[in-house]
Copies of this chain bind each other. A is one copy, B any other.
Amino acid sequence: MALRHAVLAALLDRELSGYQLAKAFDLGVANFWHALPQQVYAELTRLEQDGLIAGRDVVQDTRPTKRLFHVTDAGLAALDRFAAAGSKASFLRDDLVVKVQAADHVDAGPLIEQLTERAAHARAKLEHFEELLRTMRGDRTEEEFLRHGERIGPYLTCLGGIAFEQGNRDWCERTLAVLEERQARRARS
């Protein structure tokens, strides 16, 4: 039941439509969770039924009518209970890691390709996150912002995304270097 609380957390800052939320969860914008649009819409329906969020229709002239949601007091209480309850460790679950585990028994070519892609993707996300951080803290320094800012949650999760992607990038680069060196050596012999 974590998507539920991820949606609540995403609605803390401002009212959002299902569409906006779906985009945020589909791409890496809401870097703290990932979900497909279908899941988001379904979860919004359930959340409203349970009274944890409330929606209001906003009629637009050129665009279709949308429904903006906000967190209710009951929703806030649910979030608080969720935050207080224990959570188990999260695991790394990544196809590419499985492939590297089998690296000695499979063709290294595609592996190198995928690791290169992944490293590039990690670098792109890092840039994006850094940009987000700059926007959030404005003209304040990071220390200043984290000490006195009144909404630091998204900043901290963004730092989490950066830590994750740095690990990703560094590992990809290291693994690439090893696999490429071995492949080059095999080609020479």
User: Of B103, B118, B160, which contacts A156 at CB under 8 A?
Assistant: B103
B111, A83: Cβ atoms under 8 Å? yes
User: Of B5, B97, B166, which contacts A160 at CB under 8 A?
Assistant: B97
User: Of B2, B98, B147, which contacts A181 at CB under 8 A?
Assistant: B147
| Residue from A28, A103, A107, A174 whose CB has the most chain B CB atoms within 10 Å | A103
Interface size on A, residues (CB 8 A): 72
B159, A174: Cβ atoms under 8 Å? yes
Q: Which residues of B contact A160 (CB under 8 A)?
A: 92, 97, 100, 171, 175
- Mask, A95-130, CB within 8 Å of B = 1, is 111111111111101110010001001000000000
Can you list 23 pairs linking A and B with CB atoms under 8 Å apart? A5-B95, A6-B101, A12-B101, A31-B92, A32-B100, A33-B97, A80-B106, A82-B98, A82-B99, A83-B110, A87-B114, A90-B92, A90-B94, A90-B95, A97-B157, A100-B156, A100-B157, A101-B153, A103-B152, A146-B178, A160-B175, A163-B167, A163-B168
